[in-house]
Amino acid sequence: MSLCVCFQNNDCLMIAADTAVVKQINGRMYRLIEPFRKLVRIGDLLVFMSGSLGVANITMERFRTAKNKTIQELQKVVIESCNYFSKMHPDIVNGLDPKTRDVAVLAAEYKDGAVQVHIVQPSDNFQIHTYKASPTETIPHTGGVYADEAQDLIRPMLDAGNKTAGEMIRHVFDNLSGVEIGGNLIVAKIDQNGISFGPDQPIPEHVRIPYYEDLLSSAFLTGSLIQTSASGNYPRAEMSSSDRMFKVGSSSSNSIEMRSLGYPNSIPDLYFKTGSSTASISLPSSSSGLYMSGDRLTAEFSEIRLRGYGSVSVLSWDQLKSEGSGRSLQGELDYTAYNMTFDPGTRNLKLWSRSGQLLAQVNIP
């Protein structure tokens, strides 16, 4: 888990979260060597997630591709992702603390001329709670690990009124950093001008904790997601047990995926994406054979051989066209086909194309 601290005013908001992720194995705590940004921008929302790293990854990826990036859609995606992860990994979920097996969300946006904060958490069945501050009010929000302790630190400073939001955030993280809080401090602001992020700031840590890479010498490396960069950063390669895939991408719109579709009766699928164009190669069944789909296919070789030992089927000869002339095979056949007629009055023997064009005639005395 991580800690999130947020100060909400009527017209602006400052929010911060750390990047530490820990995992307990055989009673020992490990810190993941790759920091994880749990505070991200998706659409017009600033989103913080605490709880299960596996569910958070699934939620972020699904919400990034959602058509409507609203708090209602995020609530729907959170519920679906929690249920999906529980179904796919009952052994992992059953071994987790009930407080961390799902995800809780704090999301902020500037809407209708004011800042709105939405909180969605499993403790009340993922209901949406929306907060709006009056013009003279500052509402502190905390979420994640040590949220209550953070509130205890904030309240005296807020009552004294002698520290800025940034100073209060720094004080909280400096005092609560430890096994589950650390790494870098991610700070963001939202107001009528939009969303902006400040530079990452290292958090002083008061404990030493072994990193997750200590486990890499074992025979097996198991996890719900293994990736070379944090979600949203590119280039990135990832292996996901949740999505049952291997994916590499240079950006969010350029990627290749090895997928397994239609769980539990899944089929292997190789999926390509470039901008808005997509293509795939799959093997739906032994009877259908290898299946390729997409907008178009170009194959360039010095020699191409098609060997359909049973047959080679096409939709129609009209679909086979010359790249040079643009004419179809059906058109060429029609053009070269012919018939003959004899006019007994003129004694002319005429040769016609199939389209009715006179090709030749000869007079027979």
Q: Which tens digits make up the pLDDT trace of 15-40?
A: 999 988 777 667 777 776 667 888 99
The predicted model gives 97-105 an average pLDDT of: 72
Q: What pTM was computed for the model? A: 0.60
Q: Identify the band that residue 337 occupies on the pLDDT scale cut at 50, 70 and 90.
A: low
The 8-class DSSP code of residue 26 comes to T
- What local confidence, expressed as pLDDT, does residue 211 receive? 55
Q: Identify the band that residue 176 occupies on the pLDDT scale cut at 50, 70 and 90.
A: very high
Does residue 189 sit in helix, strand or coil?
strand
Q: What is the pLDDT of residues 45-100, one digit of tens each?
A: 999 998 877 788 889 889 998 889 999 999 999 999 988 888 877 766 666 665 56
The predicted model gives 112-126 an average pLDDT of: 93
pLDDT at 215 over 60: no
Strand pairing category for 114-120 and 103-111: antiparallel
Asked whether 317 and 333 are in contact (CB, 8 A), the reply is yes
pLDDT at 265 over 60: no
Asked whether 170 and 184 are in contact (CB, 8 A), the reply is no
- What local confidence, expressed as pLDDT, does residue 208 receive? 64
- What local confidence, expressed as pLDDT, does residue 224 receive? 60
Residue 81, CA distances (Å) to 57, 88, 105 in order = 9, 10, 13
CA–CA separation, 38 and 49 (whole Å) = 6
CB neighbourhood size of 236 (10 A): 18
pLDDT at 349 over 70: yes
Q: Which of 1-5, 174-178, 219-223, 310-314 has the lowest mean pLDDT?
A: 219-223
- What local confidence, expressed as pLDDT, does residue 99 receive? 58
CA–CA separation, 317 and 330 (whole Å) = 5
Q: Identify the band that residue 216 occupies on the pLDDT scale cut at 50, 70 and 90.
A: very low
Asked whether 46 and 107 are in contact (CB, 8 A), the reply is yes
Q: Which of 4-8, 159-163, 283-287 has the lowest mean pLDDT?
A: 283-287
Asked whether 249 and 255 are in contact (CB, 8 A), the reply is yes
Pick from 130, 115, 3, 17: which is nearest to 71 by CA?
130
- What local confidence, expressed as pLDDT, does residue 149 receive? 96
CA–CA separation, 58 and 56 (whole Å) = 6
235/44: higher pLDDT = 44
- What local confidence, expressed as pLDDT, does residue 325 receive? 87
pLDDT at 327 over 90: no
The predicted model gives 340-356 an average pLDDT of: 83
Burial of 88 (0-12, 13-18, 19+ CB in 10 A): middle
Burial of 362 (0-12, 13-18, 19+ CB in 10 A): exposed
CA–CA separation, 46 and 107 (whole Å) = 5
- What local confidence, expressed as pLDDT, does residue 54 receive? 79
Averaged pLDDT score across all residues of the chain: 85
CA–CA separation, 159 and 152 (whole Å) = 12
Please provide residue 8's backbone torsions phi and psi, each rounded to the nearest 5 degrees: -110, 120
Asked whether 9 and 131 are in contact (CB, 8 A), the reply is no
Q: What is the pLDDT of residues 290-326, one digit of tens each?
A: 889 988 888 899 998 888 888 888 888 888 888 888 8
Burial of 163 (0-12, 13-18, 19+ CB in 10 A): middle
- What local confidence, expressed as pLDDT, does residue 207 receive? 66
Q: Identify the band that residue 197 occupies on the pLDDT scale cut at 50, 70 and 90.
A: very high
Question: Packing angle between helix 147-160 and helix 165-176, nearest 10 degrees?
Answer: 140
Dihedral of alpha carbons 28, 34, 37, 43, sign? negative
Asked whether 241 and 247 are in contact (CB, 8 A), the reply is no
Q: Which of 117-121, 154-158, 190-194, 243-247 has the lowest mean pLDDT?
A: 243-247
- Percent of the chain past pLDDT 90, that is, above it, reads 39
CA–CA separation, 279 and 289 (whole Å) = 17
CA–CA separation, 277 and 296 (whole Å) = 10
301/225: higher pLDDT = 301
What distance lies between CA 365 and its chain's CA centroid?
A: 82
- What local confidence, expressed as pLDDT, does residue 199 receive? 92
